[in-house]
Amino acid sequence: MKEQQVWFITGCSSGFGHALAETALEHGERVVATARNPQQLNDLVLQYGTRILALPLDVTQSFDIQAAVSQAIATFGQIDVLVNNAGYGVFGAVEEVSDADIKQQFETNVYGSLNVTRAVLPHLRRQRSGHILNISSSGGFVGFAGAGIYCASKFALEGWSEALAKEVAPLGIRVTIVEPGAFRTAFNSALVSPDQAIEDYAATSGQMLQWLDQMNGQQPGDPKRAATAILQAVHHSAPPLRLLLGADVLDVVHAKLEAVAADLAAWKDISIDTAFEGLAVSAIGG
C-alpha cells in the first residue's frame, strides 16, 4: 500500500466519521473530512493542519458532492480511500413510518452514498487503485422488527456495493462493506421515529424503540477501536468484502445464515420442481 494515502470521509462531525478521520490522521494519512457543518472538525484542523481538509458536504445535494470531490483532488491530487459514512436511522413499524421519512432515509443512506461513490470513481479508475468502504449495519444483513425502513436502505447499500465490488475488481479498486453493531455514537440520539405509534406493533416495533432508548450511551462498541479495525482492513493485502464489527453482529449474522440454510434444505425439492417437465436442472449443493 502507498504511504500517506488520501482518505475522503463523509459524515465526520461525530461518531464513526470523526473517530475514523482522527485515527487515519494519527497514522500519518491525509484526510478530506466532510460534514454538513465543517466547523465541528475544528479540533482536528487545529491539531493536524494541512494534512486535513475540512469541507462542507450534504450528501443529498449533488452540487455539494461535486464541489467537495473537486476540491479534494485540487488540494491533494488524489483520493485513495472513500468512506461513505454519512447516514442516520428511521425507526418504527413499516406501516407507521411516513412517506416523507422513507424518502429522506433513502435520499441519505442510499442515493447519498451512491452519488458520492459515482463522483469519486472516475478518479479511482484513472489511478487503477483505491478502496471504497460503505458503512452499513447489522441491519444491512438482517431485518429487524421496528427497523424495516432503515434496514431496507442498508440492504440497498449492500446490494449495489456487492455488484460494484465485482465491476471494479479488475481495475484495481476494492470495496468493503462495514457492518457495525451497537457502538457508542450519537446514532440512537439522532434517529427518527413515528409521531404516532400503532398499538398493534407495541410488542415488536415498540420493543425495538425501547431497546434503542435504553441502550443509548450504554452500547458496548468503541468507535475508536472500530476505526482502528477499518484501518487494518484498508492496509491488508486481502481486505474482506464484509467487515463485521462487534460480537453482537457476529451472533445475528450467524443466526440468519443458519435460518437461511434450514429453509433451503427444507424447501429444496419444491424449489427445484418448478422447471418445465423433462428439463434437466441442478441445484448448488445438490
Name the residues annotated as catalytic.
Answer: 136, 150, 154
Burial classification of residue 132, based on how many CB atoms lie within 10 Å of its CB (0-12 exposed, 13-18 middle, 19 or more buried): buried
CB 221 within 8 A of CB 246: yes
Phi-psi region of 91 (alpha: psi -120 to 50; beta: other; left: phi over 0): beta
Phi-psi region of 70 (alpha: psi -120 to 50; beta: other; left: phi over 0): alpha
CB 135 within 8 A of CB 230: no
Phi-psi region of 49 (alpha: psi -120 to 50; beta: other; left: phi over 0): left
φ/ψ of 20, rounded to 5, equals -70, -40
